[in-house]
Amino acid sequence: MTASEIRALFAVASRPEVVSLAGGMPNLAALPMDALAVEVADLVGREGQVALQYGSAQGIPALREQICEVMALEGIRADPDDVVVTVGSQMALDMVTRILCDPGDVVLAEGPSYVGALGSFAAYQARVVHVAMDEHGLVPSLLHDALRTLAAQGITPKFLYTVPNFHNPAGVTLTVERRAEVLELCARYGVRVVEDNPYGLLGFSGAVNPALRSMDRDVIYLGSFSKTFASGLRVGWALAPPAVRDRLVLAAESAVLCPPNFNQMLVSRYLAGHDWRSQVKSFTEAYRERRDAMLEALETHLPDGCTWNVPEGGFYVWLTVPEGVDTKAMLPRAVTARVAYASGTGFYADGLGSRQLRLSYCYPTPERITEGVRRLAGVLEAELDVMRTFGTSPRPSLGRAEPRNGPQSPSPHTP
């Protein structure tokens, strides 16, 4: 394992004078805290002997049934017996990697990809082969290329790891047509699909895409209440075919014995007793307002040569900066200018991403987002000034025009 960029981000994000566009912390301001206080007191008072006691490694049956109802919103038909409750979906991903991967095995993942997934893959010494996206998500023809190339080397990847909706960090969504293509390709090459879907219900249009799992029962699906309810409870899950589910339960026992009953029972009560779908709607309205503030600020303030995507849900804008700027090297100067972001290299296992960065609009207020982007623009202008002054600016590219600044989804993945 290498030093974790997430840790540094949390540390930076904690300074109040810094506008953090780095972390992916959900906005909990709209949660009904008074009602939750009553709920949790009732949980302890009436069911404390169970809530505060050890539970089962697989999770409590009532919650697993409710999880199936949540997944039904994405077209998934599932048996609660095939659900394993985990300590956040990070644990589900870590368990899946543990049971499926030996050191040296290949995992396919979008490029860029979720930093926490790359962390688990590295922990089990799996080798990541990235497949690029465009504005419609993972590109099937490139996936086919990767599968063919690996097959020619005698390699069958252990799985494709994909975040189909409102991708972290790229912000894009896999189209329904491509979902079928991706599943067909993976089936043809004997590669499992691991669908990680923390943001699926956070679309700004209110529409919900059919999950890959709804189209193929062999898909391993990972879900989370971190973005639809409360990240601090650490309640996520995996839905897997029975043979994988059995191994997940055993792995979960080794890992944590059992997920906390208390947290599971609170989520279960919240789902049963509160209008959680309206709550999700009010979350997404807040996120849309913040996305709009970010996009407007990017258009207004960023220098020429920057491109970004227009997310239709979720938390993230993926930004490509002008050639010659290194987003990782620039980060300390940005923090000095009181704005933080996640530099792009953390989202690649292969060294790409130095011209990219991730901006999160989920947590700060619209005013802070605007101010943060203004500061970021100033930092970028200063970088470009230095490059021009000292002649380190790259020569103009031959044969292709430098992009004007503006939305262009997603950013190209130039090394």
Is residue 36 part of the contact set for its own copies (CB under 8 A)?
A: yes
- The contact pattern for its own copies, residues 106-125, with x = CB under 8 A and - = no contact, is ----------x--xx-xx--
Cα atoms found within 13 Å of the Cα of residue 20, Cβ hemisphere only: 18
Question: Which one among 15, 48, 241, 329 touches its own copies, defined by CB under 8 A?
Answer: 48
Q: Which residues pair with 342 in a beta bridge?
A: 358
Binders of its own copies: how many residues, by CB under 8 A? 65
Is residue 152 part of the contact set for its own copies (CB under 8 A)?
A: no
3-state helix, strand, coil in the chain (%, to 5): 45, 15, 40
Q: How far is the CB of 269 from its own copies (least distance, A)?
A: 13
Cα atoms found within 13 Å of the Cα of residue 92, Cβ hemisphere only: 29
Q: Which is nearer to its own copies, 45 or 399 (CB)?
A: 45
CB contact set of 191 (below 8 Å; sequence gap of 6+)? 108, 147, 156, 157, 158, 159, 160
Question: Which one among 172, 185, 240, 258 touches its own copies, defined by CB under 8 A?
Answer: 258
Is residue 4 part of the contact set for its own copies (CB under 8 A)?
A: yes
Task: Give the C-alpha distances (Å, rounded to integers) separating 392 from 182, 303, 383, 384, 399.
Answer: 42, 17, 10, 9, 21
Is residue 214 part of the contact set for its own copies (CB under 8 A)?
A: no
- Burial class of 127 by CB neighbour count within 10 A (0 to 12, 13 to 18, 19+): middle
Is residue 263 part of the contact set for its own copies (CB under 8 A)?
A: yes
Q: 192-196 and 220-224: which strand pairing?
A: parallel
Radius of gyration of the chain (CA): 22
Question: Which one among 12, 19, 26, 344 touches its own copies, defined by CB under 8 A?
Answer: 26
Is residue 282 part of the contact set for its own copies (CB under 8 A)?
A: no
Question: Which one among 18, 19, 23, 100 touches its own copies, defined by CB under 8 A?
Answer: 23
Question: Which one among 8, 44, 180, 215 touches its own copies, defined by CB under 8 A?
Answer: 44
Structure tokens at 372: 């943060």
Q: Which residues pair with 320 in a beta bridge?
A: 307, 356
Q: How many CB atoms lie within 10 A of CB 186?
A: 23
Are 55 and 87 in contact, with CB atoms under 8 Å apart?
A: no
- The contact pattern for its own copies, residues 283-322, with x = CB under 8 A and - = no contact, is ----------------------------------------
Measured distance CA(10)–CA(243) in Å, rounded: 37
Question: Which one among 142, 208, 249, 382 touches its own copies, defined by CB under 8 A?
Answer: 249
Q: Which is nearer to its own copies, 3 or 401 (CB)?
A: 3
Question: Which one among 52, 73, 176, 187 touches its own copies, defined by CB under 8 A?
Answer: 52
3-state SS, residue 345: helix
Are 157 and 171 in contact, with CB atoms under 8 Å apart?
A: no
Question: Which one among 253, 285, 304, 381 touches its own copies, defined by CB under 8 A?
Answer: 253
Residues interacting with its own copies, by CB under 8 A? 1, 3-4, 6-7, 10, 23, 25-26, 28-29, 31, 33-34, 36-38, 40-45, 48-57, 87-88, 90-91, 94, 98, 116, 119-120, 122-123, 226, 230-234, 247, 249-251, 253-263
